[in-house]
Amino acid sequence: MAQLAVLMAGLLLVAESQASDVAGRSTPQGFMSKYMSSPIVRPASQVQDSMAFKDFDTPKIADREEEQAAQKLLANHSTDPISLSIFGIGLVSFVTMLGLTLWRALQPATIPTNSGGLGLDMPMMEMKSQDSHVNVNSGRVGWGQLSSQNLHPRTVMSAELKAGPARPTLYVYDHCPFCVRARLAFGLKGIKHDVRFMANDDVDLPTALIGKKIAPIFDDGKSAPYAESLDIVRNVDKDSAYGPTGTFRELSDRTDLKAWQKSVQATYRCLSRPRYVKSYLPEFVTESSRSTFVKNHQMPPAEKADWKSDKYTMEQRWALYNDQSKDAELIAEMNSKLKDLEPLIHSPDCCTEGGLSLDDIDLWSRLRSLTIVKGLEFPPKVRAYLDTLATKGDLPLYDAIAL
Ligand SMILES: N[C@@H](CCC(=O)N[C@@H](CS)C(=O)NCC(=O)O)C(=O)O
């Protein structure tokens, strides 16, 4: 619009100087000045002059004379062909530019700013960066430019639609059986999701998400992230946004499975924990992340409170983690316990009769940890159960990296 104003002013000045040339033969003023000195719009100096006469009739007479002179001038100029044509050209230019401006403003915002209007197939992401370029270099919207306000919402929305909705994210430690509960459920339900492995010494990330260091954390990208493995599984399993609901039956009241788990707890910890930190699991890639785990997870028979207190130095904690003198005994103990588990497994697909349930989500996740222990012998039914759900749940076991 600024360009338009400048053009119009220029045209009017040209017209004014042309008119001055013609009108100047009878008067030194141009036609604009003459129109301004008409009785309708008078310069302040003339008003002051006329008031100075103190004669209230005098201005009336002067006005009448001026009016007649102005009418003469108007009549003269309205018939002046040069002035008329210049004014006409200005008017036509003005109308043309106004029309052009309106036409451009009404074009769809998908036309890129510098494409000359021919770049409709330009990728949306490029348009977005172009938009920011416009923002950075100029807040001005000139000929052929689209305002950044017009471009921004539409291009961002298009880019999001192209990428599709964000996948839900599970923040986990690979070794964590509670995290495996959620991952197994997602896998069995075929829910596309992102798995984010947190470093074991990273307090900031889980704290930023839910206010404390814990895993798993579920973030669907829509509502607030939250923890608690079984809550995650239950919520997702009853939400039709994630496909068919009711994949898992509720926890059974089986006491035999619970009793078995309790009976192996100490052996399980002694065998799995030292191996986790010697592995290349993603949460343990730095010395600090491994030490954090060792500091926080006692080696039985030590109690957790004692382990974390000043009663132990880090050297002592690491010494107990590295002590393999009891491994053979521990492995034998666990092999015996695995035999006890064999009759408790209903089928390769589920531990409890009736189909998949939260019993599987819990038991399979704990058994997976044991596959990191070299030398364990999984009886056939336990082995089949492990392998079947690993495949169906798309979750790898540790056999290949057992130590
Ligand atoms: N009840 C929680 C327990 C989760 C839990 O204890 N996770 C462990 C990892 S296996 C944890 O994050 N502990 C804190 C830490 O490692 O600092 C659940 O079922 O999700």
pLDDT score, position 163: 60
pLDDT score, position 97: 67
226 within ligand 1 shell (Cβ under 6 A): no
CA of 283 to the centre of ligand 1 (A): 14
pLDDT digits (tens, 9 = 90+) for 208-260: 999 999 999 999 999 999 999 999 999 999 999 999 999 999 999 999 999 99
Closest CA relative to residue 372, chosen from 346, 343, 350, 403: 403
Closest CA relative to residue 80, chosen from 10, 7, 20, 13: 20
Average pLDDT over residues 139-152: 34
297 within ligand 1 shell (Cβ under 6 A): no
pLDDT score, position 166: 78
pLDDT score, position 153: 40
**DSSP three-state, residue 179:** helix
Domains detected in the chain: 2-103 (no CATH), 169-242 (3.40.30.10), 255-401 (1.20.1050.10)
CA-227 nearest atom, ligand 1? 20
CA of 216 to the centre of ligand 1 (A): 7
Query: Quick one: pLDDT band at residue 99, thresholds 50, 70, 90?
Result: low
Tokens of 36: 């301004």
> Could you please report the per-residue DSSP string of 319-336?
HHHH--TTHHHHHHHHHH
| 206 pLDDT more than 70 | yes
Measured CA angle at 20 (ends 16, 21), to 5 deg: 125
Reported residue count of the chain is 403
The proportion of the chain whose per-residue pLDDT surpasses 70, expressed as a percent, equals 59
User: Is the whole-model pTM more than 0.75?
Assistant: no
| 78 pLDDT more than 60 | no
b/e burial code for range 122-146 (CB count within 10 A of at least 16 → b)? eebeebbebbeebeeeeeebeeeeb
Average pLDDT over residues 15-28: 41
Average pLDDT over residues 119-139: 31
